[in-house]
Every structure is written in structure tokens, then in C-alpha cells.
């Protein structure tokens, strides 16, 4: 990434397989669960001053705040000017739970009963705004809404704010809480969801994705400032890229052409070649066309078998706009723990796919090096970030 180096000094995560990085990573190394990935026992109360404040925050904003709290606690005391601290949180559907609930209120009780907090709670920028106001970060406060690539794009965009000299620190990531009856029905009726409730990335018997919720937040910091204050550097954002398939509203471009371009541009931005990449956290949704296109793209760019590939969606499911942030946390945690989590749920390689080096069965020990995290979303949005060890 041209310009100033970008360090990662804190990571936080809220996911059905674990709240907090250690619990999350332990969950990634466990067998694949069955059914929708919902945080059944999440309590927002510890992250707010009072219950009323929590009620005036949509669930996706609550998740982002919980993840940010962990990330900032790990990062330690920052010394950047508040005006040079930015916030960049991606999402796919934003406050859809608030929107659907208030539509029901209007239909059942009339327009006068619709909450005056509907709009600020449902807005896609609500999570970013929540973090900015909570911590007094007065720099750019923005968000990315690019379907399933939003979290990855947000991290890439946030890192660029630092590389370009606009910010010295950025909270970047993604958050999603998509479970409403209408949203679930919509995804189900377009035949995107798994009928079995099992996420099987790259498997011959994959039958769709398993919907999920959750959030991941990274503290990004200008490298020299992080070193000067004695921060523990967990990793580095080496580069990023964003492309569009310009092909179809949901299906990926045949042969993964958009994904190929995205990965190549991200590596070029990072100043590395395909031979330098040792790990890929794949988008790997467990849908027929997406997995086939991504496998073809990986084989085209890296040859066969190529670097170690895993899809953590076998455990996490697909958290839409939050997915890329969860997966960035997974890559950074894999670097610190020295193992790559396996692709849970996978049983049989699709014989129609090119060979890729899929991590299966058990966590694989590795020597951390340049790694890609891929996100490819509806509408043809492609995002790749390149992460390196600290």
C-alpha cells in the first residue's frame, strides 16, 4: 500500500461461535454447527450507560460497539489527535431489524406510534456513528455498503486513510444483524440458503449458505506511531483492492474473472507476487456458483495446489456485510496462534473444481506470511485485503 505503513494494534469480534478473539478462534477450530448462526445470549447492556441507550441502538450497532470495545482495550492508549482518528464500518443491510419492527408497528398501531428513533437506528452509517460518538473520534466517519464485500472494503478504505496521511488511527470493520422474517424469506426464496442448515464450502454437496450475524473491528494505526508508543503490533495491512464483475445481480462472473482481477490488484498494491502469498481466507460461501468461481480464480492466479486455503464460513456461516471483518480477524488470530483453522463442514471435494490446497480436518500449523482475505458480494462487488504478520 503506497504511503505510510498501516499497523493493526487491536482486534475485536462478536460471533455466534464466540464473543472475544480467543473464544472466536476456538470456535473456528471446532466442528461445524447446524442451522442459522445467531448470537442467542448476546447482552448489549454492558456496552451502554443505561437500558434506554441500548434500546435506541439497532442490534448491528450493538455488535460493532462490543467488538470495538475489545479491539480498543487490546490496542491500549492511543496518542492521535481526535480529529485524525477515523471510523469506517461496513454493513450489508444495516438496521433492518429496526426497520421491519417499525413497519409492523405502523401497520398494527398506526403512523403516530412509529418510533422517532427509526431513522437514526436503521441508517447504514449508524454503527460508524455510534463508535465515533462513543469514543469522540472526530475524523472521517464513513461506511461502506457493498453487500457481502462491505467489511473487507471498509478495512481497505480505512487503511488507505492512514496510508494517505488523512488519519493516524482508524476503527475499521463490519457488522451485521440480518435476521428478520422478511429478510430470511427473501434469501430463502432466491434459493441462496442451505436447505440442510450446514455450511459446506467447496464441497461437492454444498447447497447454499447459512445466514449469520456478528461483527469484527480492527484498530488500524500508522506504523511509526504504534512503534513509538510501544504498542503490540498484531499485523499489517499491506494492500487492498476493489473491483466489479459487471455481470449479474447475484451470480459471479464465469471463471471468477472479477475475483482474479481483485486478487491481482491487491497483491500489486501490497508490492508482492503470487509466490509470496502463503494463505487465503476464501469467501467460500457454500453456494454452487460462488465456490466454483473462487476456486477457479485461485487456481488461475496461484496455480495448483497454491497457498493454504480455508473458509471459516463453515463455522461462522455468512454474516453478509460483516463477513469480511470476521475473516480479517480470523487471519490475524491465525497469525498470532500459529495455526490456520480448518474448513469445517467440508467432506468431499467437488471433482469439477480445480485443485486448491484446502485446510481440512484439523488446524494446520504454519509460518505466518502475506495472506489474502477475499469477499465477493451480490451485485458483483469484489474485495481483497492483504494482511501480513506484525
Annotated active-site positions, please? 148, 283, 318
Comparing C-alpha atoms, which of 39, 48, 31 is closest to residue 13?
39
Comparing C-alpha atoms, which of 13, 71, 11, 8 is closest to residue 214?
13
Query: What distance in Å separates the CA atoms of residue 377 and residue 380, rounded to the nearest whole number?
Result: 6
The three-class DSSP label of residue 105 is: helix
Comparing C-alpha atoms, which of 340, 71, 101, 109 is closest to residue 217?
71
Yes or no: say if 203 and 349 are a contact pair by the CB < 8 Å rule: yes
Give burial (CB, 10 Å; 0-12/13-18/19+) of 155.
buried
Q: Which residues pair with 221 in a beta bridge?
A: 7, 169
Please identify which residue in the block is written with the cell numbers 463453515: 314
Query: What distance in Å separates the CA atoms of residue 248 and residue 2, rounded to the nearest whole number?
Result: 32
Q: Which residues contact 289 (CB under 8 A, 6 or more apart)?
A: 251, 252
Please identify which residue in the block is written with the cell numbers 456485510: 321
Amino acid at each position: 500500500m503506497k504511503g505510510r505503513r498501516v499497523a493493526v494494534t487491536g482486534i475485536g469480534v462478536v460471533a455466534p461461535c464466540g464473543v472475544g478473539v480467543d473464544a472466536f478462534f476456538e470456535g473456528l477450530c471446532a466442528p461445524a454447527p447446524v442451522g442459522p448462526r445467531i448470537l442467542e445470549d448476546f447482552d448489549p447492556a454492558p456496552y451502554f450507560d443505561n437500558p434506554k441507550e441500548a434500546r435506541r441502538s439497532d442490534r448491528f450497532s450493538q455488535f460493532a460497539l462490543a467488538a470495538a470495545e475489545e479491539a480498543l482495550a487490546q490496542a491500549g492508549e492511543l496518542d492521535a489527535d481526535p480529529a485524525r482518528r477515523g471510523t469506517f464500518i461496513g454493513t450489508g443491510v444495516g438496521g433492518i431489524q429496526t426497520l421491519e419492527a417499525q413497519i409492523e408497528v405502523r401497520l398494527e398501531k398506526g403512523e403516530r406510534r412509529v418510533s422517532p428513533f427509526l431513522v437514526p437506528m436503521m441508517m447504514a452509517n449508524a454503527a460508524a456513528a455510534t463508535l465515533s460518538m462513543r469514543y469522540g473520534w472526530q475524523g472521517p466517519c464513513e461506511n461502506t455498503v457493498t453487500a457481502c464485500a462491505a467489511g473487507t472494503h471498509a478495512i481497505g478504505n480505512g487503511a488507505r486513510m492512514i496510508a494517505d496521511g488523512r488519519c493516524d488511527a482508524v476503527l475499521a470493520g463490519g457488522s451485521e444483524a440480518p435476521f428478520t422474517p422478511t429478510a430470511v424469506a427473501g434469501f430463502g426464496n432466491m434459493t441462496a440458503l442451505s436447505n440442510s442448515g450446514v455450511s459446506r464450502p467447496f464441497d461437492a454437496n454444498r447447497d447454499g449458505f447459512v445466514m449469520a450475524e456478528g461483527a469484527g473491528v480492527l484498530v488500524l494505526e500508522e506504523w511509526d506511531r504504534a512503534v513509538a508508543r510501544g504498542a503490540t503490533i498484531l499485523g499489517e495491512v499491506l494492500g487492498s483492492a476493489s473491483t466489479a464483475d459487471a455481470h449479474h445481480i447475484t451470480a459471479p462472473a464465469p471463471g471468477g474473472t472479477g475475483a482474479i482481477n481483485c486478487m491481482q490488484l491487491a497483491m500489486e498494491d501490497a508490492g508482492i507476487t503470487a509466490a509470496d502469498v502463503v494463505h487465503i481466507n476464501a469467501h467460500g460461501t457454500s453456494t454452487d456458483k460462488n465456490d466454483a468461481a473462487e476456486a477457479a480464480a485461485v487456481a488461475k492466479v496461484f496455480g495448483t495446489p497454491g497457498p493454504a486455503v480455508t473458509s471459516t464460513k463453515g463455522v461462522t456461516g455468512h454474516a453478509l456485510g460483516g463477513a469480511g471483518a470476521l475473516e480479517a480477524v480470523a487471519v490475524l488470530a491465525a497469525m498470532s496462534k500459529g495455526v490456520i483453522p480448518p474448513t469445517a463442514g467440508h467432506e468431499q471435494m467437488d471433482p469439477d473444481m480445480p485443485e486448491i490446497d484446502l485446510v481440512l480436518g484439523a488446524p494446520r500449523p504454519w509460518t505466518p506470511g502475506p495472506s489474502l482475505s477475499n469477499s465477493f458480494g451480490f451485485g458483483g462487488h469484489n474485495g481483497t485485503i492483504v494482511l501480513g504478520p506484525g
